C-alpha cells in the first residue's frame, strides 16, 4: 500500500493492490479480551483495583501504517506519492468484551480518555508524524472491525482532509475576526438554545447547524482549547465530565441507530509548522478540539460517505 496525493484537493489517499488477508475463523477467541497474550501491547492504564489494566493500546493486527522506514516522498510527474509510514494502534477501551462506552462507568471511560491522550501525545513526539487521529466505527453499516470495545489511532505524515479543511477555515476566520470560530459557534448556540443537546460542566453536546447526516452530534469543550491531549491528561475532573457526556451522547445516539462513526479532531503536531497554512502562529488560538459523532441511519440518509482518509485496496492501474 502507498499514499498518493490528489493534485486537485491536495488530500492524501491510500491505495495499492492488497493481498487478501486470511479471515479469522468465526469461532476464534476474541484477541482483545483480558487474558489474551497474542498482542503487542504498547501502553496500558492500570488504575482499576483487582484488574491488570483498565484500557490498553496495542499494535493493530493488520496495520495500514507501519512505524519502520522512511516515507520516501517522491514526485511522479505532477503527482506525489509516499510509503504508508506511521502508526496504527487499537485502543482497547475496556477489558470486558461487552462493556461498550455506553455501558461503562464514567471512571472506566475516563481511564480510556486518559490513555488516548497519552498515546496521542507520545505519537506526536515522533518528528515524522504530522497528525494523530482517533476514531471508532461501530456497527456493521459503519465498518466495525472488531466486536470487542475498541477505538483506533492512526499517526500519519500528513493531515487528513477534513481536519485540513477545518484548520484552514479556523485560521481564515481568526485572521478576519481574531476569534475562534468554534468558540463563536458555542456562544451563539448556548444563547439560542435550539441545537444544544446537553451541557455537562465544561463540555457541551450540540447538533451542528449544517449536519452532514441525520442526528450528527459534536462534543466540544466550552472553554477554548486547541488540543484534546492537554485537557485529557491534566485535569481529572474535566475528564470525568467528558466521560459522562460521551456516555450519555452515545446512549442518545443508540435510541436512533446502532451504527455510528466517531472521530476526535485535535490540533496537529506542533513539531511541523506549515508555511502554507500558517498554523504555527495562531493554531492554539484558532483551532478548538472536538469529537464528531455521525450516526448511520440507512433509512434517512440518501447517500453519503464519511472518510477521513480514502482507502482503496485496488489501484487505478489494475482496475
Residues that bind Zn ion (CB under 5 A): 30, 32-33, 97, 148, 180, 182-183, 224, 265, 288
* Shortest CB 75 distance to Zn ion, Å: 31
* Shortest CB 144 distance to Zn ion, Å: 13
* Shortest CB 83 distance to Zn ion, Å: 27
In angstroms, rounded to a whole number, what is the distance separating the alpha carbons of residues 162 and 265? 9
Judged by CB, which is closer to Zn ion: 110, or 262?
262
Closest listed residue to residue 88, CA positions, set 112, 59, 109: 59
* Shortest CB 272 distance to Zn ion, Å: 19
Judged by CB, which is closer to Zn ion: 4, or 135?
135
Judged by CB, which is closer to Zn ion: 180, or 243?
180
* Shortest CB 180 distance to Zn ion, Å: 3
In angstroms, rounded to a whole number, what is the distance separating the alpha carbons of residues 234 and 316? 46
Judged by CB, which is closer to Zn ion: 19, or 28?
28
In angstroms, rounded to a whole number, what is the distance separating the alpha carbons of residues 228 and 39? 27
Judged by CB, which is closer to Zn ion: 85, or 309?
309
| Sign of the torsion formed by the C-alpha atoms of 184, 271, 46 and 64 | positive
| Sign of the torsion formed by the C-alpha atoms of 37, 41, 46 and 48 | negative
Judged by CB, which is closer to Zn ion: 85, or 219?
219
Cell numbers linked to 26: 468465526
* Shortest CB 224 distance to Zn ion, Å: 4
CA 70 to mean position of chain CA atoms: 24
Amino acid at each position: 500500500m502507498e499514499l498518493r496525493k490528489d493534485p486537485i484537493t491536495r488530500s492524501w489517499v491510500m491505495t495499492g493492490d492488497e493481498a487478501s488477508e486470511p479471515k479469522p475463523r468465526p469461532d476464534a477467541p476474541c484477541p482483545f479480551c483480558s487474558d489474551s497474550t497474542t498482542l503487542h501491547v504498547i501502553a496500558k492504564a492500570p488504575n482499576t483495583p483487582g484488574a491488570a489494566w483498565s484500557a490498553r493500546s496495542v499494535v493493530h493486527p493488520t496495520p495500514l501504517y507501519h512505524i519502520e522506514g522512511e516515507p520516501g516522498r517522491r514526485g511522479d510527474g505532477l503527482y506525489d506519492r509516499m510509503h504508508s509510514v506511521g502508526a496504527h494502534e487499537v485502543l482497547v477501551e475496556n477489558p470486558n468484551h461487552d462493556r461498550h462506552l455506553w455501558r461503562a462507568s464514567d471512571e472506566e471511560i475516563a481511564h480510556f480518555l486518559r490513555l488516548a491522550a497519552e498515546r496521542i501525545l507520545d505519537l506526536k513526539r515522533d518528528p515524522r508524524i504530522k497528525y494523530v487521529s482517533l476514531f471508532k466505527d461501530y456497527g456493521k453499516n459503519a465498518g466495525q472491525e472488531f466486536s470487542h470495545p475498541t477505538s483506533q489511532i492512526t499517526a500519519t505524515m500528513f493531515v487528513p482532509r477534513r481536519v485540513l479543511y477545518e484548520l484552514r477555515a479556523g485560521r481564515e476566520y481568526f485572521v478576519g475576526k481574531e476569534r475562534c470560530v468554534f468558540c463563536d459557534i458555542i456562544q451563539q448556540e448556548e444563547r439560542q438554545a435550539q441545537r444544544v443537546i446537553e451541557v455537562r460542566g465544561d463540555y457541551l453536546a450540540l447538533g451542528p447547524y449544517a449536519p452532514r447526516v441525520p442526528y450528527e452530534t459534536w462534543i466540544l469543550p466550552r472553554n477554548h482549547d486547541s488540543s484534546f491531549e492537554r485537557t485529557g491528561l491534566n485535569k481529572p475532573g474535566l475528564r470525568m465530565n467528558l466521560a459522562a457526556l460521551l456516555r450519555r451522547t452515545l446512549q442518545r445516539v443508540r435510541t436512533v441507530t446502532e451504527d455510528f462513526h466517531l472521530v476526535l479532531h485535535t490540533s496537529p503536531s506542533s513539531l511541523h509548522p506549515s508555511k502554507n497554512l500558517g498554523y504555527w502562529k495562531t493554531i492554539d488560538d484558532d483551532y478548538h478540539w472536538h469529537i464528531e459523532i455521525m450516526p448511520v441511519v440507512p433509512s434517512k440518509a440518501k447517500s453519503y460517505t464519511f472518510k477521513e482518509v480514502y482507502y482503496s485496496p485496488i489501484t487505478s492501474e489494475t482496475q
